[in-house]
Structure 1
Amino acid sequence: MTAAPEGPTGIDELLERVRETLDRVEAVQAYEAASSGEALLVDIRYAALRDRDGLIPGALVVERNELEWRLDPRGSHRLPEATRHDLRVVVVCNEGYASSLAAASLHALGLHRATDLVGGFQAWRAAGLPVSTS
């Protein structure tokens, strides 16, 4: 039997591989870590979703296309919260897919404690955790 030729990785395989490198957190864990100051929640959802569904109080809103520039502790465009590479960052997207890829990108920048929220904002809201409207 011949092995299948190596080809491009599909998104499902890439997502699975990326998630193996992350210590992903559930909504209540993310809430507790943020409340205690152990983690910085970063909401990467686009504006229309934030407007429609609301915000996580205290979460830092960073558009996905700016994430690496804003959170790189050595970057010239970093946010004041991006102070060190061991910062615990929990990335939040809408349903927990894009956030996994975003957290992996932060790992590549040296933010080795970056992870994401399983199920994203929708899991946060379903858990009955605080949400504010603009």
Structure 2
Amino acid sequence: MSGTGIEDQLAQARSRLDRLSARAAWREVRSGAAWLVDIRPAAQRAEEGEVAPGLGPLVIERNVLEWRFDPRQDAVLPGVDFDIRVIVMCQEGYTSSLAADALRSLGLSRATDLIGGFAAWRGHGLPVARPAILLQS
């Protein structure tokens, strides 16, 4: 067997991040010091809810994240440079650690993630939009 398991990869990624609590992330985003990026798929956002729109969260699904945040790419978002502060958020804080580490590998040295993900954000009573009501047919 070769390579490392996902738990080892996650531990390695987190060792390179200065991860943030939900409240610390909220303070940075609210002050304009950071961009909050929700990488959850649409179905999960519809079921679980989203960060309140007034905080300006960006929704960029995981499969295109690096292309939108690599300043060397044509598909980069306006305003992205190597010094930008990005806080990546997934549902529970696992995928976001791997994604934030991938951004750091691209040269965005201030990229990090939210400990506990959206579940922690909501659990701390921070601003959220209500989840969509999914109708059964």
Considering the TM-score relative to the shorter chain, is it more than 0.5? yes
Instruction: Quote the residue 1:24 is aligned against.
Output: 19
Instruction: Quote the residue 1:118 is aligned against.
Output: 115
Q: Distance in 2 between matches of 1:132 and 1:95?
A: 17
Q: Distance in 1 between matches of 2:118 and 2:110?
A: 20
Instruction: Quote the residue 1:74 is aligned against.
Output: 72
Q: Kindly, what percent of the aligned residue pairs are identical?
A: 54
Instruction: Quote the residue 1:63 is aligned against.
Output: 61
Q: Give unmatched runs, 5+ long, in structure 2.
A: 133-137
Instruction: Quote the residue 2:135 is aligned against.
Output: none
TM-score, L = length of structure 1? 0.91
Q: How many equivalent pairs are there?
A: 128
Secondary structure of the 1:91 match is strand
- Letter paired with 1:33: E
Q: Distance in 2 between matches of 1:27 and 1:94?
A: 12
TM-score, L = length of structure 2? 0.89
Q: Give unmatched runs, 5+ long, in structure 1.
A: 1-5
Selected match of 1:105 from 102, 106, 121: 102
Instruction: Quote the residue 2:87 is aligned against.
Output: 90
Q: CA RMSD in A?
A: 1.3
Selected match of 1:50 from 45, 49, 57: 45
Runs of 4+ in 1 over 3 A off after TM superposition: none
Deviations 1:89-130 (A, max 9, x none): 000001000000000110111000000000000000000000
